[in-house]
Amino acid sequence: MATGSAIEWTEATWNPSTGCTKISPGCKNCYAEKLSKRLKAMGVKKYKNNFEFTEHPDDIELPLKWKKSKKIFVNSMSDLFHEKSRMEFIASCFHTMIQADWHTYQVLTKRSHIMAEFSNYFQTYFGDVMPPHIWMGVSVENEDHVWRIDELRKVKCHTRFISFEPLIGPVGKINLKSIDWAIIGGESGYKFRDVEEKWILDIIKQCKKQNVSVFFKQWGGIRPKSRGRTIQNRIYNEYPKIKKLKNFLKDIEFDEKLFAQKCVEKNQKIKRPLTI
Ligand code: SF4
């Protein structure tokens, strides 16, 4: 886990898995891919497989060791819901998030259908939806990927967010029902694709109309902070309003094998096989 993060909307990163595969235009200049290559070249053991999806079981319990409350971005170097990620492994990560409930977790994916599917398994095992301190989010880079918001609404959880970053096109009219938070940001890096002000303002306007908190992260440019984060003389620094609920799931013990068995027993329509 990295304590401290340059990403404005979080405070730390935790990578129980690393590596990924590009699946949509937002992935074109993936920062995690570049950084993985650099870390491998530097001899960092965790990145010996470069950008190949890899589970790191030794890192699953890291947030439990971090006593001070933080906002934690889960998997800044991967996608927790990657096709190669075992459902039991994902569930182990969620068990840690349930136990270390003094933190807030920001779980972001482009594989919204797998996230939604996993949330069914989660409910089967834990007997409830994901608690409010675990924020579930999808990335939407342009109009062609707005459908991920509908998938996000299927995720059985309390807190939902959208990351419109890197914003590479307009998103059109969006339904933000049951969405709590939106992050907006232009692309950064040498090959950045420029964001237009009207695309950003259109999202902000729709968020305000539909009562969604807004965090405008950056304009983007060669460096993330090249052009700041002020838009029309304003900085949008809002966070979602979170329900305060007792965490009843904390007493539930977790076992990967039992998780897989319970899901197979209860769920007749498993699309992705578990590993039992
Ligand atoms: S989903 Fe995220 S981590 Fe994976 S390739 Fe795309 S941008 Fe990179």
Task: Report domain extents, the chain.
Answer: 12-265
Q: Write out pLDDT tens, residues 50-84.
A: 999 999 999 999 999 999 999 999 999 999 999 99
Q: What average pLDDT is seen over the chain?
A: 94
Q: What is the dihedral of CA 154, 159, 164, 165, to 10 degrees?
A: -110
Q: What is the mean pLDDT of residues 5-13?
A: 91
Confidence of residue 268 (pLDDT cuts 50, 70, 90): low
The token pair at 180 is 């709590």
| Ligand 1 lining (C-beta closer than 6 Å) | 20, 22-23, 27, 30, 32-33, 78-79, 110
Ligand 1 binding pocket mutation candidate from 20, 112, 167 (most atoms within 8 A of CB): 20
Ligand 1: which atom is nearest the Cα of residue 21? 5
| Of 77, 145, 139, 144, residue with least CA distance to 109 | 139
Position 45 pLDDT exceeds 90? yes
Residues facing 262 on adjacent strands: none
> pTM (2 decimals)?
0.95
